[in-house]
A and B are shown apart, each in its own frame.
Chain A
Amino acid sequence: MTGLALSDELTIVTAAETRERLMPYLVGGADLELDLSAVSDIDTAGLQLLLMARQEAERRGVTVTLTDPSPVVRDLLTFTRLTGELGL
């Protein structure tokens, strides 16, 4: 199990960069824990990266766990009814 903490913005502004950061972990094929406690902002681009990461893990037979979502992340996931699906 490896851990990766995402921080600051998880938005269109940082989307490309975030994908680059996620890439090696997802390709590495190990279970991954994403710490979301320091995320200050999240939009659709951020959300779809999280969903993509989950989907990718499933495809590769590993798990990606989201942990400790910051209030903005929790708020968004609640609004989009994704808390259950994402195990939060």
Chain B
Amino acid sequence: MSSDDEFGEALDVFVTEARDLVQDVEEGILRLEDAPAGSETVNALFRAVHTLKGSSGLFGLDHMVQFTHVIETLLDLVRQGELAVTPGLVSALLPCGDHILNLVEAVAHGRAEATPDELSTGAELLSRLEPFLPGGAGAAPPEASTGTSTPAAESDEQPPAEQENSWHLSLRFGPDSLRNGMDPLAFLRYLSTVGTVVDLEVVTDTLPPLEEMDPETCYLAFEVEYVSSVPKADIESIFEFVREDSDIRIAPGAEQIESYVRLIGTLPESDRIGDILIRSGAATEREIADAMQLQKERSRGANAMVPLGEILVEQDVVPRQVVEAALRKQRKSGESRAQQDTQTLRVDAARLDRLIDLVGELVIAQASAGVVCLTDNAERTGVAEAQSEVMRLVEEVRDSALSLRMVPIGTTFRRFERVVRDVSVELGKEVGLVVTGGDAEVDKALVERIGDPLVHLVRNSLDHGIEAPAERLRRGKPARGALRLNAFHDAGSIVIEVADDGKGLDRDRILERAVERGLVDAGAALTDSEIYELIFEPGFSTAAAVSNLSGRGVGMDVVRKNVTALRGTIEVETAMGVGTTMRIRLPLTLAIIEGFLVGVGSRYFIIPLDRVTECVELPDGAVGRDVMHLRGEVLPFIRLRTMFDIDGQPARRQSVVVVEQSGQRTGLVVDALMGEFQTVIKPLGPLFARAKYISGATILGTGEVALILDVGPLVAGQTERERALHADAVA
């Protein structure tokens, strides 16, 4: 069938939206406990489930309709305040969200029917909801909702709540509806599940004679007299998937007009007639948006704006009496305000990356133009000025391009409400999660990649950090443990903290363990922080060691590896009996770094600026030895010239750039210091994948290539070399 592809596309849209909705559902359920009946949280949750049910129905996914219907019924009771939210209810609802997601994923893989397994899982989940439903009506089929009047109220402002409203629906489906797998009759059938189709007329005006008829084109239109208690927006949303090609009009029935007029009379004044109509429920947001679009088209070329009200009346969206009532309420501000668009737009990440890449190129090209200007003589100061102005603009463009990738970290944090809940139930601990700083923004790519390490840290805190309630009480702590997720911006980085008020790391046992594992010598004198750092060492602990070790468990080395791969650092702060804080520091974006440009011979290197602590001159005495004294402390250093085998004689006066990584300081000996340089990172090709101390490259304004040093491995390597040297010396 030729419509397979198009149907597939519609189904893709369904899957994408359904995934979002399921996430809304999960978040809604988690917030349910704190939300009073009738609050926006409860309403939003109800709507999300309702929409899921509706769109599943359109695609004939009966198993999903049946499952979501029960949840919808239950949430409706919550919404009306007839059912109190208890932790038990939340616990019973949460796996339902997961189940819906599984069903959606099955649909994404082309399976539109439930497997027997899924059916029995679904039935079991629903049976757990049974106690919450009145009279155990849990498994009632969707049709049952027709009779039971669900309240119309989305908020108190809706017209006559708890009352059925009559509507006149004019449905002109797009000619390709059938080909796209959208059967108009399926929509009508669905309508009759959320209301009553009082009368229906099939309009055959456009049905052509036999010869001209294309049997796959939709010619039929429908006029429907409809009574339902759901709000207009919900009726509209039923037609979501055909809206684009179809002409769907939903007009209030005659007896309803008066109630709208009365309702509008009670509303506060507003600048915009559209707002008034939306608030009264007489028009939906989409209808107003469509009308405004039309208004814009009409007004093009014309001297005066066509009034929005006129268009709404003409399009049969809102009856004239209602528009007039709304006009009376419109504030006479004289001028029509610019439309404030706070809408969001989904953009393909690849396009965004391409834009950022281009802007990066622009920065480079701009920098080279700057170099030309600077080397030019002073007579051309005008050029230099223009140049610096362009530079400023380019930088602004770059910043705003990068900000497109920025998302609040709160979306990631929200996942943890679930993790904390599930894990603490599993472990029999009581833990409250406190999230702060969720609006701190960070690159989307980073957010995605930091999720797993964070889950690890959170699980660790719950598992090994926070004690069981009885033990906590014994230690004079509240039985309920606290886990805190915090994020904030700090000097070009984002800092993410996972803090618990648990028992803290046991210094002695970590040391004991490390000696046992041969990570440190038995007699080694280590500072506390050096000891705590050991938990990040590979091989420090294995899965078997987790349960009997009072510190952190498996895979902390993996966490550190992941964080380091993102050019970040992780540190631990802990106090016995008081708690542990894991602090991850990450760059805001992976695309650009603030670098420090240095030269060795004819080569250039970039050192990430956040690693640089200071620059000093290489003392004369240090020649030949790879350590120097810095304010009374011994500082090991690395000669980049030797490390990268660069030919030529070192400069007469060499400099040392002091870098710090995880509390360890090392000097890098270079010939020349060029200063700060904002660097657009170009990843190295696969050929260089094994280059150990280089994390990327960039192109300088002069067209030359500078390599970006990967300070982490460089410093770690140095420590190992030192240790080997030390071991030799001891032996």
Contacts and interface: CB of A to CB of B under 8 A. Distances in A.
Does A pair with B? Answer: yes
A80 B183 contact: no
Contacts of A19: 210, 213, 215
Given A44-B185, A56-B210, A76-B185, A12 B200 contact: no
A52 B213 contact: yes
Contacts of B183: 12, 43-45
A16 interface: yes
Contact of A51 (B179, B199, B207): B207
A43 B185 contact: yes
B527 interface: no
A20 B216 CA distance: 13
A16 B215 contact: yes
Nearest to B210: A56
Contact of A81 (B192, B201, B220): B201
Given A13-B1, A43-B185, A44-B220, A51 B202 contact: yes
Contacts of B213: 19, 52
A13 B186 CA distance: 15
B596 interface: no
A44 B179 CA distance: 11
A58 B541 CA distance: 87
B218 interface: yes
B197 to A, nearest CB: 8
Interface in B124-179: 177-179
Given A12-B183, A12-B216, A19-B215, A79 B207 contact: no
Nearest to B220: A48
B370 to A, nearest CB: 64
Contact of A27 (B188, B210, B220): B210
Of the candidates A12, A23, A55, A81, the one having the most CB atoms from chain B within 10 angstroms of its own CB is A12
A63 to B, nearest CB: 15
B184 interface: yes
B189 interface: yes
A42 B433 CA distance: 54
A39 interface: no
A22 B213 CA distance: 12
B532 interface: no
B218 A44 contact: yes
Contact of B178 (A44, A80, A81): A44
Nearest to B185: A44
Interface residues of B, number: 28
B209 interface: yes
Nearest to B177: A44
Contacts of B219: 48, 52
B86 interface: no
Contacts of B202: 47, 51, 80-82
Contact of A48 (B179, B199, B218): B218
Interface in B1-22: 1, 3
A79 B215 contact: no
Contact of B207 (A13, A23, A26, A48): A48
Q: From B197, B199, B216, name the one whose CB has the most chain A CB atoms within 10 angstroms.
A: B216
Nearest to A80: B202
B189 A15 contact: no
A16 B201 contact: no
Given A27-B210, A52-B210, A79-B188, A45 B215 contact: yes
B683 to A, nearest CB: 50
Contacts of A79: 185, 188-189, 192, 197, 200
A67 interface: no
Contact of B216 (A26, A45, A47, A56): A45
A18 interface: yes
28 contacts: A12-B1, A12-B183, A12-B216, A13-B1, A15-B215, A19-B215, A22-B210, A23-B210, A26-B210, A27-B210, A43-B183, A43-B186, A47-B185, A47-B220, A48-B204, A48-B207, A51-B202, A51-B207, A52-B207, A52-B210, A56-B209, A59-B209, A79-B189, A79-B197, A79-B200, A81-B199, A81-B201, A82-B202
Interface of A: 12-13, 15-16, 18-19, 22-23, 26-27, 43-45, 47-49, 51-52, 55-56, 59, 76, 79-82
**Among all A-B residue pairs, the 9 with the closest Cβ atoms:** A15-B215, A19-B215, A56-B210, A43-B183, A44-B184, A12-B178, A44-B185, A48-B220, A45-B178
